[in-house]
Structure 1
C-alpha cells in the first residue's frame, strides 16, 4: 500500500486549523482548565468546553463510524457505491425517529437509539430482501436502496409538514447537525465505534474469503449467510447510532472507502483500517468549513448537507467504474405480462374514466359538518375554480407516467422512475437560487430559474446517455446522484430558517391550489406534445429493451436514441415538477399498471400509462384536498404516500 501519510496529515492539519479558528473566535484567551466545572466557568468557557469541544470530538468519531460502516457494506456486497445513504439505511432511521417524535414521544424516553436502530434495520432488511432476489447485483441494490430512501424521506417530510410546531427543529436535525450540549453523545458513539471496530477486526478474514464470491466461499465451507448477517448488523449499528445522535449525514460512508482505495489500500484489512480514519477527517473538515462560514456570515447550516455535496460528485465519478450490469430482460416483474390484441377500446375507456372521475370529484366536497354533494348551482360556481387544478393534476400525472414509460423501456429496468432522473432536483436548485438571487422575483423569473436548473441537471445526466459503452441503467443511477446533490443543497437552504427557505419548502411540497387556467393549459399542451413525440419514437422504444447490441443490429442510432429519449423524459419530469414537487412515484406506478393491463406495444404502453397517470393524479389531488380538511396536504407528497406501498410490493416481487 502506498503511504497515505502526507494526504492524511494535510487533512488533519486543515481540520485542526479550522476547529482552532472557531475556538479562538469564541474564546481568545482563558481556556477552561480540566476537569471542567461549570460553576467556576464563564459563559464562553462553558460554550467551548461543552459545545465546541464535544462537537469536534463527535465529528471525528461519527466520521469514523460512517467510514467503517461504508467499508463493511462495500466489502460484504462487493459494491463500490454501497453506503448507509445509497442503501436507504439512514433514511429508515430518520423515518422512525420522525414518527416517534411526533406520534409516540414516549418511545424516546430511553433515548433515540432503539428507535433509530429499528428503522435502520428495517430499511436494511428490505433492501437485502430485494437484493437477494437479484444476487445482490450492484446497480439493482443501489437503485432499490435509493428509491426506498426517497420513499422514506417523502413520508417523513409529509409527517413533518403536518405538524408545524416541529418543523424547523426536524428540518435542521434531518440535515445532520453536529451541535452538542455535553459529552454524552461522544461517549456513546465512541463505545459503539469501539465495539464495531473489534467486530470488524474479527471479520477481516471471512470477508477476504467472501471476496472470492458466494459460491467460492461456500465451497470452502463458509456460512455465507451468517457472515453477511454479522457484517450487515455491524454496519446498521454504526449507521443507526450516528443517525440517532446527529441526524442524516450522507455519503461519508461512500467517500471514505473510495479515498482509502485511491491511497493504495488493497487488502480487506487495509481498507477497513484506513476508511474510518479517512471518514473522520472528511466529516471533521466539513464541519470546520461550516464553522468557518458561520463565523464569517453568522449563518449556521447542518454539516450533513455539506457532505452530500462531496458524495454526489463522487458517486457520479464512480459510475463508469461500477462492475456488474443488468442484462436486458432479466429485471422482469412478477411473471409474463398479458398482451391486448385490441387495446383501443380499453384506451378510450380509460379516457372516459378520467373525465368522469374529474367531474364526480368536483361534485363531491367536504364541509365543517361532513361530506356533501353539490347541487347544480354550486357545481357551476365551483367548476371554474376546480377545473384548472384538475386539468393541471391530470396533465402532470400524464407527463410523469409517460416519462416513466420511456425510462423503463430505455433502461430495460422496471425500477426506473422519472422522479429520480435528477431533473426535478436540478429544477428545485434553480428555483431556490432564483429566490436568493433576486429581491422579489416574479413568476416569469422563478419559472426561468427552475427551467435552467432542470436543464443543467438534464445535461449532466445526458452526458452518460451519450456514451455508447455505458449500460442504460447507469443513466438512471447518474440521475439519482444528481438528486442526492440537490437534496444536500436544499437541506442547507431550508435549515437556515429564512423567508426564502419557507418558500422553497412550500414549493417542494407541491400544490395545485394556486394553478390558474393559463398554467393548466400549458401543462395540458405539454402533455399532448410529449405524447406525440413518444408516438414518433415508437421504434426506438420497441428496440431498446432488447439491449444495445440488438438495437444497433437493427440499425438504431443508439447515442441519438438514448439522448433524445432522456431529453423527452427530462422535459416531462421538469414540467410536472413545477406542480407536484420532486417526488411522487406516479411515473413508477402508471407504466407498470399499463403493462399489467396488457398494453405491450410501445404506443399502447405510453398512451395507457399517460391515461393511468392522469387518473392517479386526479385521485391524489382529491385526497390531498380532503384528507386533512380544512387544511390541504401537499399534492406531490400525498401521491408519494400512495406510491410507497406499490413500490415496496413491486421490488419484493422482482425475481432473478
Structure 2
C-alpha cells in the first residue's frame, strides 16, 4: 500500500512538471521568481492560473477528505460522504434556480451556493433532531434530501438545458482559477477546520464506540455529533462554493487512509486529508494534457472518479486483511414491532390500493380538452400504449423494493441501495456507449447491450469480492466504485456539450417511454418470481446483520449464503434496470417507509416495502405522463420528487407519536 502511495505521489509530481513545461519551458522557470519583472503572458498564466489551480486542488482534496472522515465518524457509517448528505446538491440546486429564474443575482454566486448548502444541511438536521441526531437517522435524512435536490436539478436540466449548460461543468467540479483569492480563503478555512477536528479527536473517538458506551463515559453524544457534522458541512460548503461539486474524494480518501493502515482516529485525521489532496492533485494534473493547456474543457471533479475508482479496485485486490462488517452500524432489529394482524391488514390495503391505482392509470388522464375519465370506446386504442408502461413501472418498483430490503439486511447498513451494487451502472454504461457510437438504436439492441453491461458489472463485483468471501463492505465498495466511474463518464460527456448524452438524461432518470407489451409481461412475471424467492431468504436476512460470528454459530455457511444473496440482489436490480433504466430512490426508501409504517422483521418489511415500491412507481409514471402533457417526465425522477417529501413527512409523523 505504501509503495502504491509513493508511486501515486511520484506520478503527480511528474505530471505537474510536464504540464508546467507545456506552459513555460524549463529554461524560463527563473522568470517565476517573485523579484523578476517579466510581463510575458506565459509567466502570468502560470502565476495567476496554473499555480493557483495546483494549490486549490490540494486544498479541496484535503478539505473533502477531512469532511468525509468527519461524516463517517459522526454517523458511524463508512458510506457517508459529503456529496450524499444533501450539502452539495443543495448548493447546486440553489445555483441552478438562480441561473434560470434570477440570473441578475449570479454576481453573488459563491454566497448563493453557500446558502443552498447550509439550507440543505439545516433541513437534514431538522429531520433528525427529534431522535437526538441518531446516526442512521441523520444519514437517511441526508440521502433523502440529496436525492430530492438532485431530482429537482435534473428536472431543470431537462426543461432548461440550453440555459444550464455552463452549470454542467460547474456541477462536475471545475478547478480553473483566475487568481489567488480562492486559495487564500479556502486555505484559512481548511486550517481552522483541521484544528477544530483535532480538538474533537478524543470525543469523536469515544463517539465511535456507540452512544450508550459514550454516554456512560460522560460524553454528550448529541452535541459532539452536531459539532462534528456541522464542521464537515462547513468544509464541504466551502469547497462547493469555491470550485463546484467534486464527488468521490470524500468517500475514497478515508477508505484509502484505512487501507493504508491508519486505524486510530488521530492517524486518519492526518492521513485522510493527505490522501484526498493527493487524489485530487494527481487527477487534475492527469486531466490537463487531454484538453488544452489548462484543462478547462474536462471537469476535474468528474474525472476524479475515473482515476479514483480504479485505484479503489486495485487496493481491494491487493488487500489481504479481513473485512469490517457493517453490523455494528445499525442493529438488525429496532423498537417494538407492529402486531401481525394489523400488519397483514395494512399490507392487503396497500396491494388493493396498488390494483386500484393501476386501473385508474389506464382510464384517467389528461386529454387535449383537459382531464377526463376515458370510456370504453375511446379507451381501446389507448390501452396498448398505457398498460405496458404502468405494468412495467409496477414490476420495476416491486423488484427495486425487494432488492433494497435484501441489500440493507445483507449489509446491515441502511444507506445501502440497489444502485450501489454497480449492476445498474454497468447496464447504463452499456447504454451510454451504444448511444455515443451508433446514435439511435433499436429496442432489441439496447436490451442486449444493457444486459451485457449489467452482466459485466456483476462479474467484476464477484471477482473483486471473492477473496473476501463476498463480505458486504467489499461488495458495496466495488459497487460504489463502478457507479462513480459511470457517473463520472456521464458528467464528462454532458459537460463536453454532446447532445446525444444530454438526451440520455431522461433514460438515466428511469423512463418507461420505450416499453413494449412483451417487455411489460416479462418484467411482471420476473418481479413476481423473484419477490417470492426473496421471501425464502427471511431467515438469512435476520441473521446476517448480526455479524459473521453469530451467523457461523447457527450453522450458516457464510461464503455460499452471501453469494446466493448477492446473486438475488443482482438479478432484482438488473431486472428493474433493464425494464425502466437506473432508478436511485425506490430501493433506498421503500424499506425505510416499511419500517416507519411499523415493519421490523424481514418478512414484515417485504410485505410492506414491495407494494410501497410498486405504488410509488405506478403513481410516478402516471404523473410523468400527464402533468406536463404533451411533454413527459421520467417515472424515476417523479418517484423521487414525490417520495422524498412523503418520507420526510413520515419522519415527523412518526416522531410526533413517540
Question: TM-score when scaled to structure 1?
Answer: 0.80
SS at structure 2 position matched to 1:566: helix
Displacement of 1:101 in angstroms is 3.2
Q: How far apart, in 2, do the equivalents of 1:328 and 1:249 lie?
A: 26
Match of 2:445 in 1: 445
d(CA) in 2 for partners of 1:546 and 1:212? 22
1:622 maps to: 622
2-side partners of 1:323 and 1:368: how far apart? 58
Counterpart selection for 2:191 from 189, 193, 197 = 197
Aligned match of 1:102 in 92, 100, 112? 100
Structure 1 unaligned regions, length at least 5 = none
Which of 156, 181, 191 aligns to 1:159? It is: 156
Once residues 591 and 413 of structure 2 are traced to their aligned partners in structure 1, the CA distance between those partners, rounded to angstroms, is 12
- In structure 1, how many angstroms separate the alpha carbons of the residues matched to 2:201 and 2:600? 44
| Aligned equivalents of 1:205, 1:604: Cα separation in 2 | 44
Report the Cα distance in structure 1 between the residues aligned to 2:596 and 2:193, rounded to whole angstroms. Answer: 47
Post-superposition Cα deviations, 1:116-159, rounded to whole Å, max 9, x if no partner, equal: 3542563377269759959876x887677556544443332233
Choose which of 180, 184, 188 in structure 1 pairs with 2:182: 188
In structure 1, what is the equivalent of residue 83 of structure 2?
Answer: 85
Partner of 1:632: 632
Structure 1: how far apart are the matches of 2:330 and 2:224? 31
CA distance in 2, matches of 1:392, 1:81: 31
The farther-off stretch of 215-224 and 247-256 is 215-224
Q: Deviation of residue 508 (structure 1)?
A: 0.5
Equivalent runs, 1:140-155 vs 2, <5 Å? 149-155=146-152
Deviation at 1:491, TM superposition (A): 1.7
- The structure-2 alpha-carbon separation of the partners of 1:101 and 1:364, relative to structure 1 and needing over 3 Å to count, comes to same
Counterpart of 1:381 in structure 2 is: 381
Is the CA contact (8 Å cut-off) linking 1:511 and 1:636 kept in structure 2? yes
- CA distance in 2 between counterparts of 1:256 and 1:198 reads 20
Q: Which moved more, 1:645-654 or 1:200-209?
A: 645-654
Larger CA deviation: 166-175 vs 249-258 = 249-258
Confirm or deny that 1:304 pairs with 2:301: yes
Q: Whole-Å Cα distance in 2 between the matches of residues 140 and 467 of structure 1?
A: 33
Contact kept? 1:120, 1:239, Cα under 8 Å: no
Q: What is the distance in 2 between the residues matched to 1:342 and 1:258?
A: 40
Contact 2:186-2:239 at 8 Å conserved across structures: no
User: How far apart are residue 493 of structure 1 and its match?
Assistant: 2.9
CA-CA distance at 1:193 after TM superposition = 1.9
Task: Provide the rounded CA distance (Å) in 2 between the counterparts of 1:232 and 1:347.
Answer: 37
Moved more, 578-587 or 346-355: 346-355
Q: CA deviation at 1:359?
A: 2.8
The yes-or-no answer on 1:429 pairing with 2:429 is yes
SS at match of 1:340: helix
Unaligned runs of 5+ in 2: none
Kept in 1, the 8 Å contact 2:470–2:563? The answer is no
Q: Distance in 2 between matches of 1:615 and 1:263?
A: 45
2:234 is the counterpart of 1:237? yes
When residues 124 and 582 of structure 1 are mapped into structure 2, their CA distance, relative to the original with a 3 A threshold, is farther
SS in 2 for 1:371: strand
Question: How many aligned residue pairs are there?
Answer: 647
List aligned pairs for 1:323-402, cutoff 5 A: 325-326=326-327, 330=331, 332=333, 335-340=336-341, 343=344, 352-402=352-402
Greater displacement, 143-152 / 197-206: 143-152
Could you tell me which residue of structure 2 aligns to residue 528 of structure 1? 528
CA 1:278–1:292 in 2, change beyond 3 Å: closer, same or farther?
same
Q: Is the CA contact 2:158–2:506 (under 8 Å) kept in the aligned structure 1?
A: no
Change (3 A) 1:534 1:220: closer
- 1:391 Cα offset (Å): 1.7
Separation in 2 of the partners of 1:210 and 1:398? 40
By how many angstroms is 1:390 displaced? Answer: 1.6
Q: Which moved more, 1:608-617 or 1:259-268?
A: 259-268
Q: Deviations over 1:457-505 (max 9, x none)?
A: 3344446886787765775565444433332232223222224423432
- Cα offset for 1:577? 1.7
Distance 2:487 2:243 in 1: 17
Alpha-carbon distance between aligned partners in 1 of 2:189 and 2:337, rounded to the nearest angstrom: 48
CA contact (8 A) 1:397 1:610 kept: yes
| Deviation of the 1:305 alpha carbon | 1.3
Contact 1:22–1:295, Cα closer than 8 Å, also in 2 = no
Aligned counterpart, 1:515: 515
**Matched residue, 2:58:** 60
Structure 1 residues 147-296: aligned runs within 5 Å: 149-180=146-177, 182-183=178-179, 186-198=180-192, 200-201=194-195, 204-208=198-202, 210-213=204-207, 229-256=226-253, 276=273, 278-295=275-292
TM-score, scaled relative to structure 2: 0.80
Give the Cα–Cα distance (whole angstroms) in 2 for the partners of residues 230 and 593 of structure 1. 29
Q: State the secondary structure of the residue aligned to 1:110.
A: helix
Q: What's the offset of the Cα at 1:624?
A: 0.7
Kept in 2, the 8 Å contact 1:339–1:599? The answer is: no
What's 2:114 paired with? 116
CA 1:475–1:165 in 2, change beyond 3 Å: closer, same or farther? same
Contact (CA 8 Å) 1:69, 1:83: kept in 2 or not?
yes
Let me know the Cα RMSD of the aligned residues.
4.8
Q: Does the 8 Å CA contact 1:583/1:640 hold for their aligned counterparts?
A: no
Q: CA deviation at 1:637?
A: 0.8
Q: List per-residue Cα deviations over 1:615-654 (Å, max 9, x = no partner).
A: 3222111111122233111111111112223444667869
Distance 2:329 2:270 in 1: 38
